[in-house]
Amino acid sequence: MADAKRDIAVCEFTYRAKGWKKARTLRAIRTVREYVEVGFLGRREVVPVYQYACYASSYDKGAVELHALYRQRSVSETWIEQVKGHTMAGGTLTNDFWANDILWQLAVLAYNVSVMLRRKKDRFKRQEHRTFMDWFVHVPAKITRSGRRTELKMYESHFFREDWEELAGLSDAA
């Protein structure tokens, strides 16, 4: 396990950008994101891959505390954006409250299923929910079941057909 203190470097400096009336204190942090093995001139070495952040904040906190604070805010804002954009929260589709409630719950269910399926395969993990919906949900196809066999019937030249079949195979294996 890596030494946490060795994986973090911080600094503080004063900076005045053009157009600023006064200088501000900036706090920067460098953290090790991961260690990778690289080869150079026949030698193999494990080297760190760094991640940098710099904050100009009104909070009277050090770089490490600011980094933790803004990371929490970033996660919260990302979650709010996903809820608004991916599950249609705040968008009314009908004039009936209960119909909108059911539609929103179905959207949340679809989002959760897509997250579970995307976690099963590395190349699907980073897909945005809307992209996932376009690739795998808004597809003209039919799923048929006969006996113990499930079959996907879709246009043979569909652009994402191979991805769909791979994902369908993952859900059958679960």
CA neighbor of 113 nearest in space, from 136, 93, 90: 136
CA–CA distance, 137 with 111 (Å, rounded to integer) = 11
| Residue 99 clears pLDDT 50, i.e. is over it | yes
- CB contact at 8 A, 111 and 119: no
Rg of the Cα trace of the chain? 24
* pLDDT the model gives residue 30: 92
| Residue 1 clears pLDDT 60, i.e. is over it | no
CA–CA distance, 120 with 37 (Å, rounded to integer) = 26
CA neighbor of 11 nearest in space, from 57, 55, 51, 47: 55
Token pair for residue 134?
Answer: 């376009």
* pLDDT the model gives residue 27: 92
**3-state class of 148 per DSSP?**
coil
CA–CA distance, 77 with 83 (Å, rounded to integer) = 10
pTM for the model stands at 0.43
